Amino acid sequence: MPRNRSVVKPRSHCVRCRKLIAWYEQHSAGSYIVLSGRCRYCKRRISPRYPMVEALTAAVFCYVVATRGVTLGAVKTCVFASMVIALLFSDLETRILPDQFTKGGIVLGLHLRRSCRCRT
């Protein structure tokens, strides 16, 4: 997002050789270990940032669900945590906080706050 690239199209690919990543390689932490941190096609190194973000997000989701159960409040917390993690790593790498997360997060947060009377 900070580089104005879509996160949808093209689907997941190597940022160096642009080859599409197979469906069975979509688990970046597992694929990173299996492929020794290198692209299957061009053999160039893959940033450890990808599996780190995925592992951190999974750990936060597990913590939220373990402490709050599977509730709407937990879903909202996971969405918020995902945005904060994305902002953190975007800021660390590019020093840019994408409007999609900052302004979009404000709109989403206000909407969810109004539309849900559940405990958050």
Summarize as ranges the residues that interact with Zn ion (CB under 5 A). 14, 16-17, 39, 41-42
Helix-helix angle 99-115:72-94, to 10 degrees: 170
Question: In terms of CB distance, is 12 or 94 closer to Zn ion?
Answer: 12
Kindly state the smallest distance separating residue 102's Cβ from Zn ion, in Å.
31
Nearer to Zn ion, 35 or 118 (CB): 35
CB atoms within 10 A of CB 46: 19
Secondary structure (DSSP) of 37-103: TB-TTT-PBPPTHHHHHHHHHHHHHHHHHHHH-SSHHHHHHHHHHHHHHHHHHHHHHHS---HHHHH
Q: Which CB atom, from 22 or from 58, has the smaller least distance to Zn ion?
A: 22
76: tokens are 């909202």
At its nearest, how many Å lie between Zn ion and the CB of residue 8?
20
Q: Tell me the closest approach of the beta carbon of residue 51 to Zn ion, in angstroms.
A: 16
| Nearer residue to Zn ion within complex by CB, 37 or 109 | 37
Instruction: Kindly state the smallest distance separating residue 82's Cβ from Zn ion, in Å.
Output: 26
